[in-house]
Structure 1
Amino acid sequence: MAEQTRIPRNRRKVLRVAACAFAALVVLGAGAAVYAYFRLNGNIKSVDIDARLGGARPPAATDGSFNILVLGSDSRSGENGDLAGGDTGGSARSDTAMVVHVSRDHSHADVVSIPRDTLVARPGCTDAGGRPVPGVKRAMYNSAFEVGGAACAVKTTEQLTGLRMDHYVQVDFAGFARVVDAMGGATVTTTVAIHDRDSGLDLPPGEHHLNGQQALAFVRTRHGVGDGSDLGRIELQKQMVKSLLRQAGGIGLFANPVELWSVGDTMTRSLTTDSALASVDALVGLAQELKGIGPDQLGMVTLPVVTAPGDPNRVVEQQPQADQVWAALKADRAIPQAIVATQPANPAQASPTAAPTAPATASAKR
């Protein structure tokens, strides 16, 4: 029988110390992971939309498709005031509104931007303090968020579209800028110069890699490029969304959980969601469902509108085109090509011979 190999005493001591150190690192690492998990969960602000709205809502789809209402808030509180400037009288409106429809197999999404100055019938709501807010027959779409917060914005959107908003995501100015920075910036291409005296954004024609504040100025500029309409600004927002999707794919954000967690603190501090999304597990699960959707799998249109009768600073839905858009989403079909073909031009990528493809509207200044 071979003699059993003996490990020298000093070496055994070193191995015991190493084993203890490794065990300590595992415990500390697990503790750090638990701390990070609860920190990220604690970052997320949420609104219980279901409790606020009750059962009088459009039915949820049963084919696997779902809808998300994404709002950008123009609140000037805290960091937002420094970034946004201007004054909203202490209130906040939905500066950006997008209905995101994810297809039943989660391989494609259609985004419909709703111009903030669209006149709609706003339903009765309750404000943050639970006080009733009476409905009105004719109000700016973005006033719903101002008078009744997230729940009223969802209720107004569901009444306008006939679609159930399964989820709600809200980001403010400072949050958007932080997320862009956390993702490493965003690249956009312009064929015309953009000079925005309000924001300080000054871009010559060409390709530009923007930081968070520059990206925010890009998606908010109206008077810096084009005819100053809100429809033109929406086109810049569409361009930015696709740029961020390309950036996310480039850094492996949706496919790589490690990368997703690395920017998680910034992202979760920047969001307000419905209560069903208000956890790290839920947000990661949503990201995994959407990871196959890149710029090429994303359709983006603006709700067809025309200038409101008697008010050149407002718009109303163009019919029957607007109803055709909502019907396509409800049936999980592609938006009609005739509507896609008549979308407004992107003022940052305009050609000298391009003719307007949709009526322009000048948003009222605030």
Structure 2
Amino acid sequence: MSVFPRARLRRALVSGAVCAGLAAGTLGLTQGGSRLPVALAVPRTDVFAAADRRPADGPGTTYLLAGLDSRSVLTKQQRRRLHVGNDACDCTDVLMLLHVSADGDRVSTVSLPRDSYVRFAYRTGHVQQSRAARPEAGKINSAHRLGGAALTVRTVEQATGVRVDHYLEADFATFVDAVNRIDGVTVCTAKPLHDANAGLDLPAGTHDLDGRHALQYVRARHIPPSGDLGRVRRQQRMLAELADTFADRGLLDDPAALARTAGDVLGTLRADEELTTGDLVALGRALRRSGSAGTEFATVPIADFDHAVPGWGSTLVWDAERAERLFAALREDRPLTDGEAYALPGPGTPVGWDPADIRVRVATASSRSEQAARLEQDLRAQGFDVRPPRYGTAGTPAPRRTRIVFAPGQERRAASLAAALPDARLRPTEGHPGVIEVRPGRDGARVVPVVHDRSSVEGAPATGDTLDCDHNG
């Protein structure tokens, strides 16, 4: 299944909406919360009229940002050039709740993975044609195919308990154009990124990408960490950098530039009928006031990453208790990063690979030392699969710092082990066997608690200033 670029939506949406809001407010286009003026009008969709049993209204304003996998306007040549394939699903491969706090000092975004398994929120009294045509439950991204934007909104509200105030939607065809119109985007990577399926080939470093290459970047799924969570975090990094770029360009302080950008970008989106210039002004002011430190990004915690469902294949099941805490923070207008909204399943540093599935051997120079025995005991206590020790050549000096030696291809396992050994150095070594080796150093080998939680490794709340290139370049 093809993947909709979340950053495209985010950027086209957030930057476009922000610019539109600021431009509208600065240029005097808001009159008591009037609807968007003709100059900034966007296609409208009625997503709330048929809604019933909606969550209660709360403080702040929440947007549902949707990215639609639609390629009907792309030619075969364009599809090949953009590496998007031919099969569109008319589904939302991007769904995000963006919440603007009531005081306007914080903007929080929670991503809902496209394969999340949820119940669909059909209207009361709706007569189903058949279970195949109107299944009771399935992947959240299929709500759009089954009932358009209206069913998507109702399903998200039902699953999260968060009331959606406004809806914004973009599709494949607008992403490249939207990115080009804002003069491209910046991304940074410490390692080369290559994904043949997405057409991505980036060397290590910082890069300014045009629309086509940005599309490849945000669609890539086969670069570590692979899968949706890693892709989401990369897109969050891109958005964080975009906010810094806009600030550096002085765009947020230039009414004329804001108006031009708003007109360019908003024309590519669909919006709900209730969206007003006042709403966009509030969003724009919040992003300008909060800055990168006041923007938050998180992904709903997952309990099961491979829940098989007949007819749907592999789906994602949310961690109900932890997800509810996260959504409660949005409903109650609380920060995601306060420690209450996103709880870990246990004490310790989150690791993405189960320690029980990581084979470890402690290697010493000549004989079993007290240090090695203690290290083995501590690693077992953290759940690692500790194998019998290996003894090296007598007289071989121990390294100053503890080393973790592993074969290429075991980076994720080694990274989880390194989280438990924060003072150790990672040493990938060609030809090394499958068991990861810990070579204790003269400075000692400290073991700290770890907890297996794949969601937190790539989806825990993070502020924009910790995701941009200045922090991660």
Task: Return the offset for 1:339.
Answer: 3.8
- CA distance in 2 between counterparts of 1:146 and 1:173 reads 16
- CA distance in 2 between counterparts of 1:132 and 1:173 reads 30
Distance change in 2, residues 1:262/1:352 (3 Å): farther
Task: Return the offset for 1:96.
Answer: 1.1
Query: What amino acid maps onto 1:155 in structure 2?
Result: R
Residue of structure 2 in register with 1:73 after alignment: 68
Task: Return the offset for 1:288.
Answer: 3.5
Residue of structure 2 in register with 1:209 after alignment: 208
- CA distance in 2 between counterparts of 1:321 and 1:48 reads 32
Distance change in 2, residues 1:320/1:284 (3 Å): closer
Distance change in 2, residues 1:208/1:333 (3 Å): same
Map 1:235-314 to 2 at 5 A. 235-277=233-275, 283-284=280-281, 286-305=283-302, 306-310=304-308, 313-314=314-315
- CA distance in 2 between counterparts of 1:212 and 1:344 reads 32
- CA distance in 1 between counterparts of 2:178 and 2:326 reads 30
Task: Return the offset for 1:290.
Answer: 3.6
Q: Which runs of 5+ in 2 are unaligned?
A: 1-36, 354-410, 417-451, 457-473
Task: Return the offset for 1:352.
Answer: 9.3
The C-alpha deviation readout for 1:199-240, integer Å capped at 9, x for no partner, is 3221011111111111111111102x1153112211122112
Task: Return the offset for 1:79.
Answer: 3.4
Residue of structure 2 in register with 1:104 after alignment: 102
- CA distance in 2 between counterparts of 1:116 and 1:235 reads 14
- CA distance in 1 between counterparts of 2:61 and 2:279 reads 15
Q: TM-score, normalised by structure 1?
A: 0.75
- CA distance in 1 between counterparts of 2:280 and 2:101 reads 18
- CA distance in 2 between counterparts of 1:221 and 1:333 reads 32
The C-alpha deviation readout for 1:53-100, integer Å capped at 9, x for no partner, is 2x4311221x3x1111111111111138634522345x4111111111
Query: What amino acid maps onto 1:146 in structure 2?
Result: R
Query: What amino acid maps onto 2:234 in structure 1?
Result: L
Map 1:352-363 to 2 at 5 A. 354-355=415-416, 357-358=453-454
Percentage identity across aligned positions?
A: 32
3-state SS, counterpart of residue 305 of structure 2:
strand
Residue of structure 2 in register with 1:145 after alignment: 144
Range with greater deviation from structure 2 (69-78 or 289-298): 289-298
Q: TM-score, normalised by structure 2?
A: 0.59
Matched, 1:60 2:121: no
- CA distance in 2 between counterparts of 1:275 and 1:100 reads 18
For the Cα contact (< 8 Å) 1:75–1:88, is it kept in 2?
A: no
Distance change in 2, residues 1:299/1:283 (3 Å): closer
3-state SS, counterpart of residue 51 of structure 1:
coil
Query: What amino acid maps onto 1:170 in structure 2?
Result: E
More helix by share: 1
Distance change in 2, residues 1:132/1:270 (3 Å): farther
Query: What amino acid maps onto 1:76 in structure 2?
Result: R
Map 1:1-366 to 2 at 5 A. 38-41=38-41, 44-53=42-51, 55-61=52-58, 63=59, 65-79=60-74, 82=79, 83=82, 85-88=84-87, 91-125=89-123, 136-223=135-222, 225-277=223-275, 283-284=280-281, 286-305=283-302, 306-310=304-308, 313-335=314-336, 337=339, 339=343, 342=350, 354-355=415-416, 357-358=453-454
- CA distance in 2 between counterparts of 1:161 and 1:359 reads 17
Query: What amino acid maps onto 2:454 in structure 1?
Result: A
Query: What amino acid maps onto 2:38 in structure 1?
Result: F
Residue of structure 1 in register with 2:30 after alignment: none
For the Cα contact (< 8 Å) 1:195–1:203, is it kept in 2?
A: yes
Task: Return the offset for 1:308.
Answer: 4.3
3-state SS, counterpart of residue 152 of structure 1:
helix
RMSD: 3.0
- CA distance in 1 between counterparts of 2:278 and 2:62 reads 19
For the Cα contact (< 8 Å) 1:193–1:204, is it kept in 2?
A: yes
Task: Return the offset for 1:289.
Answer: 4.5
- CA distance in 2 between counterparts of 1:199 and 1:236 reads 14
Residue of structure 1 in register with 2:361 after alignment: none
Task: Return the offset for 1:351.
Answer: 8.8
Q: How many residue pairs end up in the alignment?
A: 309
Task: Return the offset for 1:140.
Answer: 0.1
The C-alpha deviation readout for 1:306-346, integer Å capped at 9, x for no partner, is 2244468311011311111111111112225354875979x
Query: What amino acid maps onto 1:322 in structure 2?
Result: A
Q: Which runs of 5+ in 1 are unaligned?
A: 1-36, 361-366
The C-alpha deviation readout for 1:101-125, integer Å capped at 9, x for no partner, is 1111111111111110010011115
The C-alpha deviation readout for 1:32-63, integer Å capped at 9, x for no partner, is xxxxx63432xx1111222232x4311221x3
3-state SS, counterpart of residue 48 of structure 2:
helix
